[in-house]
């Protein structure tokens, strides 16, 4: 039995050496907000944070994540959808089918944590997620809307559901 720190809680799991983090999150920890798209690190649907770094969980073996590393999934980004990125997503009505959107939001939250006022080039570099519904324009607009509300860095910090701040 291995241990992993997810959304502020230490959880236990069992996995083969090559079992992706994505499958542990979804199938053992029942955190199904993180999606499977391509399985080859291309689409970004499976994006979570590992110590604040946006990580494609389909390609990260679960056993390679230390219990000292903090994993955050879409379920742990905030309480009640209150992260500025989540609010901006609602305000700008970003999702279509929604399948890619948790990965998009996690990538955007990591971007804004590091660059509270990103340029278009910053957004292009960070947002490599694929959306088959073509929401790219609204994703960009929502990132800028979130940045506009987050003039203080603290507003863009990740409020873990356990009360800690990343």
Of residues 116 and 136, the one with the C-beta less far from ligand FES: 136
Please report the beta strands in the chain, taking only residues with DSSP state E, as ranges in sequence order. 2-6, 9-13, 47-50, 53-56, 70-72
Of residues 4 and 25, the one with the C-beta less far from ligand FES: 25
Of residues 97 and 148, the one with the C-beta less far from ligand FES: 97
Q: Tell me the CA distances in angstroms from 8 to 41, 63, 64, 117, 142, one per residue in order.
A: 25, 18, 18, 27, 27
C-beta of 94: minimal distance to ligand FES in Å? Answer: 8
C-beta of 37: minimal distance to ligand FES in Å? Answer: 4
Tokens of 117: 């006022």
d(CA 106, CA 151): 19
Of residues 125 and 153, the one with the C-beta less far from ligand FES: 125
C-beta of 105: minimal distance to ligand FES in Å? Answer: 11
Widest Cα–Cα separation across the chain? 44
C-beta of 1: minimal distance to ligand FES in Å? Answer: 25
Q: How many CB atoms lie within 10 A of CB 132?
A: 11
> Would you tell me which residues interact with ligand FES (CB under 6 A)?
36-39, 41-46, 56, 58, 95-101, 131-133, 135
d(CA 8, CA 22): 17
Of residues 37 and 76, the one with the C-beta less far from ligand FES: 37
C-beta of 75: minimal distance to ligand FES in Å? Answer: 17
């Amino acid at each position: 039995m291995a241990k992993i720190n997810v959304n502020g809680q230490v959880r236990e799991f069992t996995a083969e050496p090559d079992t992706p983090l994505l499958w542990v999150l979804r199938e053992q920890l029942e955190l199904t907000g993180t999606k499977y798209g391509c399985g080859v690190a291309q689409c970004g649907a499976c994006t979570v944070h590992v110590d604040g770094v946006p990580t494609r969980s389909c390609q990260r073996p679960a056993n390679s994540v230390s219990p000292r590393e903090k994993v955050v999934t879409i379920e742990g980004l905030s309480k009640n959808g209150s992260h500025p990125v989540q609010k901006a997503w609602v305000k700008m009505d970003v999702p279509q089918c929604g399948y890619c959107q948790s990965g998009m939001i996690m990538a955007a939250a990591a971007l804004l944590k590091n660059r509270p006022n990103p340029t278009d080039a910053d957004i292009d570099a960070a947002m490599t997620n694929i959306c088959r519904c073509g929401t790219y324009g609204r994703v960009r607009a929502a990132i800028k809307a979130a940045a506009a509300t987050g003039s203080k860095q603290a507003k863009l910090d990740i409020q873990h559901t356990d009360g800690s701040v990343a």
